[in-house]
Chains A and B, each alone.
Chain A
Amino acid sequence: MSRKKKVLLFGIGWVALISVLHGYLNVNWAAVLNDSLAPARRKITVAYIPVTCQLTCPVTDYISKFSDSGEIFLPRMFQGFPEIKEALISNKVQAAFIVAPLAIALVAQGVPIKVVYLGHRYGSAVVVRKDGPVSTIADLRGRTIAIPSRFSDERLLVFRAMKIWGIKPGEVKMVEMAPPDVSGALAAGAIDGFSMGEPFPSQAEMAGYGKVLFQAREYWPDYMSCILVVRQDLIDSRPDIVQLLVDGIARSGLWLDRGKPHREAAADFVGRYYFHQEPALLRWALTNPMDRVVYSPLAPRKGDFDMVRDLMIETGVLNKKIEFTEYTDTRFSDGAAIQAPWRYEAGIARAR
């Protein structure tokens, strides 16, 4: 064989090898297949990040695969809110779980989305280093704590606690971090504490370097943080799909609140197939105690959102009093009110 032939053969072989590897490792075939369908038959993509505030998203996907009608949407995991926001603005995803203040701020900035449902209630906590200098909220003065975003309920939660303890806004330094990074940062001593959704407080607790300073509900009754937003064009063109999505999320919420076995099953399959976290960690976050995070009732309520909006204005991240009806669409949560929990038990490959 001549050298020219050898080089050619090697080149072809190389291209074939990397093409196969690329197709096997990088390409999300479900998404490619979905994109090839006609727009009216396409499944929507729902963005989430690996926190228990958004647990209903993977739970719905997992259980619905066992149902007769099959999966409702394509879930897609992100690692932080800025990425989700960009995907949502540029229509790469049509629905997403994001923090409530971010949704309000995006609507105020002219992004066409609507809040249709909540993700959870409670389930956020402020965590500090176990052997560190902070043992009460008053000790937070002059410290640095991490928050997921300037537009997050976790940040507002800290402000609420600070107000009660008479700490002025500038006295605690807040830095924005992607949720999966905070436990490592706390362990390394880069921050003094963080305010995040589960399972990151549990992670710091289980590993032994963090302790919960306070749970969200201690300073915010009916606390909510992550909510489900949907793009306006989807609501206009395919309201039935949005209703199906909200129904599924509602049913998963009810299913999760049916008792410990369901929580443990969810910790197992979500940890392994979706969040890529230790199932033991999620089990801790979901059952220790059971009401650490709650998944019903999840219909958006004007009072909750008005309070979030007012706190945002007060803490300087929103500059106009935007009304509840401008950024929510409650008809889907109304429609989901008649739903019952999924009928699904782990080990029986059938759901209804």
Chain B
Amino acid sequence: MNPLAEPNKWERLLWPMLASALLLVLWHYAVLWSGTKVLPSPLQVERGMLELLYKNVLWQDIGSSLRRVAIGFGAATALGIPLGLILGWYPAANQIVNPVMQILRPISPIAWIPVAIILFGVGDNAAVFLIFLGAFFPIVVACVNGVSNVPLFYRRAGRNFGLMPAQLLTRVVFPAALPQIIIGLRMALGIAWLVVVAAEMVAVDSGLGYLVIDARNSGKRYDLVVAAMITIGVVGLALDSGFRRLEAIKSIRWGFGK
């Protein structure tokens, strides 16, 4: 295998499909061979998924999860980017805030669940709050790093052209930091999708996380549990590949050496 080889277009589709098919076959025979009566085979899971589709719950749950992520992630972006830009712009301010942020950042949003329920009750707001927490810190940190990594001569050049500080921030520093910010946003979106599933397991009665718990509670229906898990994976993949499209935009692409 040549590490620099560019796969053909048809190969880029074929091999992943083949790998997934192989995994399904392995799974199928593992279920047959072990004789398990609990874990479902791929066919049972497919039937479970169809059942969820017919009952019209699958699209609703996907919709609820996406809505929560959109609100929580949107709020984290709207607050996190300006804050990150400011902290990156004024290193002195960053030195003051940074220790607190580094303490809050490693606390898993799951650990916030009891506090979130007390603050927001059982429902959408608690889940959205948890997603916000999960996405906020990676975005801020990515922005701070992005801004402080902007080469000094960009700023000097901007100032020589007579830009005011606010203009310098929006027209030089922000575009220069954008590729790194986008990476931060993409990571944050991945975290938000992890958190939404966990948050929906406790606080709400819709969404894909709820679907897992609901299937678990309905007796021996592990086909539905696995169907919900696969849906979570597929939607997560779609979100990520959708976000990667952003990296192809001209004002960002330069940061990825393309």
Contacts and interface: CB of A to CB of B under 8 A. Distances in A.
B and A form one assembly: yes
Interface of A: 82, 85-86, 89-90, 102, 105-106, 109-111, 144, 149-151, 175-176, 185, 188-191
Interface stretch (B87-95, B172-180, B214-222): B214-222
B53 interface: no
Nearest to B121: A190
Nearest to A150: B217
Contacts of A86: 38
B164 interface: no
B219 A109 contact: yes
Task: In the A-B complex, list the 7 residue pairs whose CB atoms are closest, starting with the nearest.
Answer: A190-B122, A109-B220, A105-B219, A109-B219, A188-B118, A82-B216, A89-B38
Nearest to A317: B218
Nearest to B123: A190
B217 to A, nearest CB: 5
Interface of B: 37-38, 117-118, 121-122, 205, 213, 216-221
A149 B216 CA distance: 11
A152 to B, nearest CB: 10
A82 B217 contact: yes
Contacts of A149: 217
Given A175-B205, A190-B117, A191-B122, A89 B220 contact: yes
A144 B123 CA distance: 11
Contact of A110 (B118, B122, B205, B220): B220
Contact of A90 (B38, B217, B221): B38
A151 B118 contact: no
Nearest to B216: A82
A176 B220 contact: no
Contacts of B117: 185, 188, 190
A306 to B, nearest CB: 20
Contacts of A191: 122
Contacts of A105: 219
Contacts of A89: 37-38, 220
Nearest to B120: A190
Contact of A111 (B118, B213, B220): B220
B217 A176 contact: yes
A82 B205 CA distance: 17
Given A90-B38, A190-B117, A185 B122 contact: yes
A151 B219 contact: yes
